[in-house]
Amino acid sequence: MIYFDNNATTQVLPPVREAMMPYLDDAYGNPNSVHQAGNRTRVAVERARGQLARALGVTSSEIVFTGCGSEADNQAVIGGLLARRGEGKNLVVSAVEHPAVGATAAWAAKQFGFELRTAPFKTTGDAVDPTPFLDLIDNNTVLVSVMAVSNETGVIMPLAEIFAKARAVGALTHTDAVQAFGKIPLSPKKLGVDLLSLTAHKFHGPKGVGILYIRRGVKIEPLLHGGSQENARRAGTENVANIVGMGVAAEIAAAHDPADIRTLRDDFEARILDRFGDRISINFRNLPRSPGCSSVRFGSEDGNLLLIKLDRKGLCVSTGAACSSGSLKPSAVLMAAGLSEEAARATLRISFSHLNTPEEVAQAVDILGRVYR
């Protein structure tokens, strides 16, 4: 099997798995208990918190563990709006957000009486145009949420310009950075962002754990109540083994140079363009992109059918976000990014990690050549 669906999830690295194992075995104490068994796991949780803080260049007290990236996004959007009720009237998100932000923002706006403003995806030659966002942000904006890197296209969003305007009007700023960590430079302090979401399984950690960075001094309402864990910002006993794994994975990802992933992606794109010519196209190739993601349109083919055929030959790719993969509908994100319905249906997402090899790239192109005739 050749696995080129790393935007959906990544393989857990051996050092990560090894670090987790003691907390699935004899180190089973509740980290909130005051005896020695609890203290052992509490120390492990705080060590992981420090690892993540150092990887992001923030303080440990600004890291809140969550159950996943979607929970972190929900807490940022819902908790941010609840904390700002009475202070403004609208929130701004991009049209290409992951549903964990986009759908949550739509629900929360209706539930709490805010106006949802959705900024269209526009480009100016070789960059994403921040103007649509800037035009929607005003003195009544309470929250601006824009993803750092698109999970479906790999396109890098112009956060600095957008968040500068948001800060100027006093709005909370949030970025879903799930696809950014370990792939592009990511500094909450430099971005001036108040809230930032991550999840471990996108950078070779375990599934079922994430974080929400909450800048010191920022107040948001918790989603989960009934306990004082995470400094009363998220109730529930911490998932110690997964948290430990996330800490180790973050250290490894932060130290890794993504140049090798970019080399794989560029080699793959060069090979398929050479093999298929104008029968295919690379979506968004002229825009700033994450090094590990390629969005490829295969003529007018049915992407779902092509995916199935490739899978039978041992090549794992996707038609878009894993949360909506297999849907008969074309990707709403791709269409919001400017693709026609036909082009969106014919697009596959191929995503790489440093565990992939040049040999796999060559084999994948050969499989594509045999399937896509």
Does the structure show a pLDDT above 60 at 326? Answer: no
Span 154-163, average pLDDT: 96
Q: Do 225 and 239 have their domain in common?
A: yes
The predicted pLDDT at position 372 comes to 86
The predicted pLDDT at position 321 comes to 62
Q: Do 114 and 209 have their domain in common?
A: yes
Residue 344's Cβ-count burial label (10 Å; 0-12, 13-18, 19+) is: buried
Structural domain harbouring 120? 14-255
Who's near 162: CB < 8 A, 6+ residues apart?
130, 133, 134, 137, 144, 146
- Round the average pLDDT of the chain to a whole number and report it: 95
pLDDT band at 351 (very low <50, low <70, confident <90, very high): very high
Q: What percent of the chain has pLDDT over 90?
A: 95
The predicted pLDDT at position 373 comes to 76
How many structural domains are present in the chain? 2
Query: pLDDT digit string (tens) for 262-290?
Result: 999 999 999 999 999 999 999 999 999 99
Q: Do 311 and 288 have their domain in common?
A: yes
Q: In this structure, what is the dihedral angle of CA atoms 357, 361, 362, 365, given to the nearest 10 degrees?
A: 170
The predicted pLDDT at position 328 comes to 65
Q: Do 347 and 334 have their domain in common?
A: yes
Query: pLDDT digit string (tens) for 22-81?
Result: 999 999 999 999 999 999 999 999 999 999 999 999 999 999 999 999 999 999 999 999
Span 84-97, average pLDDT: 96
Q: Do 99 and 215 have their domain in common?
A: yes
Q: Do 247 and 365 have their domain in common?
A: no
Q: Do 160 and 284 have their domain in common?
A: no
Q: Do 262 and 359 have their domain in common?
A: yes
Residue 337, domain CATH? 3.90.1150.10
Q: How far apart are CA 4 and CA 189, in angstroms?
A: 32
Does the structure show a pLDDT above 70 at 308? Answer: yes
Q: Do 75 and 209 have their domain in common?
A: yes
Q: How far apart are CA 249 and CA 264, in angstroms?
A: 21
Short-list 106, 89, 95, 72, CA closest to 174? 72
The H or E element containing residue 198 is strand 195-199
The residues that are catalytic are 323
Query: pLDDT digit string (tens) for 203-239?
Result: 999 999 999 999 999 999 999 999 999 999 999 999 9
